[in-house]
Structure 1
Amino acid sequence: MEAVLIENMWKVVQPEDDLWIVGDFAHGPKAKDAGYLEALFGQLPGARKHLVVGNHDLELTQALPWDSVSDIAQVKDGKEGLAHTLCHFPMITWNGARKGSLHLFGHVHDRWKGTRNAVNVGVDQWEFMPVEFRQVERIAKQMPVNKHWGDAERS
């Protein structure tokens, strides 16, 4: 699976791009092998590599030479764009949610694609391809509204 993911990343992620891993960089026994993790990290494309920590990202993963490591990140889409929230875990609301900011998450794997404003960007949702923000934005517009949105936010 790792070889397919790396190959697919190189098809999409350009040398000048930022690559955001939204948690679970490695899992299982290999996640405890520093040599394996370093070799895998060394194959990643992109100019800058960022980790939003997932529940399977152990200390060895977090110690890799990421450009940033955080539990949650707000990432602007372009110079004038909104700051979108990246967190491994799905959330009901986030900073900028009322203003159209999207939330990108993983964690739930193949069980739930998300909603109109919170999209599961786990690779198993995207045929093991990395996903660009513009693609997420287009898909989000076609997804259902979270039935609990009104409980947390008012339009």
Structure 2
Amino acid sequence: MAHWYTADLHFGHEAIIRFCKRPFRSASHMDGALLENLWSKVGPEDDLWIVGDFAWGKRSDDEAWLHGIFQQLPGARRHLVIGNHDGAATRALPWDSIGHLAQVEDAPKEPPLTLCHYPMITWEHARRGALQLFGHVHENWTGTRNSVNVGADVWDYCPVQFKAISRRARNLPVNSHWKDAEPRSAGA
């Protein structure tokens, strides 16, 4: 079993293609590509973590359409960390877990990951090197050494695992406010 992370899928959202310069002809083209990418990575025994903004746009209140997209998601367990575009219909889907914040024990001998749709300045175990995974900002910011954007727009529209996230984190800058939030920390 593996954990896979993604954010800001925005299934059904026609305007996100223009807003984020996504390389798709239409929302249905984007939806198909996103699902294909998810299926190319996430195995039948895996956990899929969607760190907010599952769907948006005119169809995001259509319970039958949403359920149809949800049923096409791969993995044994599907989790939603609620984002600003996850309305009542999305929240009502049969997620295995749903909340505004989640902690995931993913890598052996590593502190748990903290998942929140929004970038955070600090979180539990941050002083011990725990990473925070977020979305919300799309392609505008990849994050810092300890807080990494797992959004579809910065990962080639594919979900990602801890190893790749950790590798990217090592190459990101230290958060310029880290010493303000965690002055006794070694820095991340």
TM bucket normalised to smaller: over 0.9
Please tell me whether the aligned partners of residues 116 and 133 of structure 2 are also in contact (alpha carbons under 8 angstroms).
yes
C-alpha separation between the residues in 1 aligned to 2:60 and 2:50?
15
- In the other structure, the counterpart of 2:141 is 112
Deviates more, 1:75-84 or 1:129-138: 75-84
C-alpha separation between the residues in 1 aligned to 2:178 and 2:42?
33
Alignment partner of 2:38 out of 9, 20, 27: 9
Q: Which runs of 4+ in 1 moved over 3 A?
A: 78-81
Structure 1 spans left out of the alignment, 5+ residues: none
C-alpha separation between the residues in 2 aligned to 1:151 and 1:32?
41
- How far the C-alpha of 1:78 sits from its partner, in A, is 3.8
Percent pairwise identity: 58
- How far the C-alpha of 1:80 sits from its partner, in A, is 4.1
Normalising to structure 2: TM-score of the pair? 0.81
C-alpha separation between the residues in 1 aligned to 2:170 and 2:107?
19
- In the other structure, the counterpart of 1:44 is 73
Aligned AA (1:126): W
Aligned AA (2:172): M
Aligned AA (1:107): H
Q: Deviations over 1:42-63 (max 9, x none)?
A: 0000000000000000011011
- How far the C-alpha of 1:82 sits from its partner, in A, is 1.4
- In the other structure, the counterpart of 1:152 is 181
- In the other structure, the counterpart of 2:64 is 35
- How far the C-alpha of 1:30 sits from its partner, in A, is 1.2
- In the other structure, the counterpart of 1:138 is 167
C-alpha separation between the residues in 2 aligned to 1:81 and 1:140?
14
Alignment partner of 1:87 out of 102, 116, 134: 116
Number of residue equivalences: 155
Of the two structures, which has the highest relative contact order with CA contacts closer than 8 Å and spacing of 6 or more?
2
Alignment partner of 2:105 out of 72, 76, 85: 76
C-alpha separation between the residues in 2 aligned to 1:80 and 1:61?
34
Normalising to structure 1: TM-score of the pair? 0.97
Matched residue of 2:157: which SS? Answer: coil
- How far the C-alpha of 1:70 sits from its partner, in A, is 0.4
C-alpha separation between the residues in 1 aligned to 2:108 and 2:173?
29
- How far the C-alpha of 1:144 sits from its partner, in A, is 0.3
C-alpha separation between the residues in 1 aligned to 2:116 and 2:43?
23
- In the other structure, the counterpart of 1:54 is 83
CA RMSD of aligned residues (A): 0.9
